[in-house]
Amino acid sequence: MNGKVYITASFNNTLVTVTDAAGNVVAWGSAGASGFKGARKATPFAATTAVEATARKAEAAGIKEVEVYLKGPGAGRDAALRALKAAGMKMSLIADVTPMAHNGARPKKRRRV
């Protein structure tokens, strides 16, 4: 069965969500939910642990081939991909969907003294 994996790697945590082809959530996990606290949630090892646990849940639900969507600048990006491959998931697509600022917000008005 096909599915989609959304990995959000922030500077504080790594979130993993696995959905089926229709977009219904099958399994989810995070470095925090895997038992890491504080600064250790932001490490590549925590991301690996979170992805492995989530991949096991997804495989139990019958998902074998996935499209991977990465978002964010965190340390767990590469480690999460490696863990997904090690868990036996076949990846048909890897896309970076990190939002990019195109011009930013309007600057604050100039300070008058």
Burial class (CB in 10 A: 0-12, 13-18, 19+), 10: middle
Confirm whether 107 is domain-assigned: no
The domain that holds 13 is classified in CATH as 3.30.420.80
Host H or E run for residue 24: none
Cα distance between residue 70 and residue 83, in whole Å:
14
Confirm whether 64 is domain-assigned: yes
Of 56, 72, 76, the closest CA to residue 64 belongs to: 56
Whole-number pLDDT of residue 82: 93
Confirm whether 109 is domain-assigned: no
Confirm whether 101 is domain-assigned: no
Whole-number pLDDT of residue 3: 92
Number of domains into which the chain is organized: 1
pTM over 0.75: yes
Confirm whether 103 is domain-assigned: no
Tokens of 19: 């959905």
Whole-number pLDDT of residue 105: 87
Contact present, 13 and 28 (Cβ < 8 Å): no
Q: Whole domain around residue 82: which residue ranges?
A: 2-96
Confirm whether 55 is domain-assigned: yes
Confirm whether 45 is domain-assigned: yes
The pLDDT averaged over each successive group of 10 residues in the chain (113 residues) is 93 94 93 92 94 93 93 91 92 93 89 91
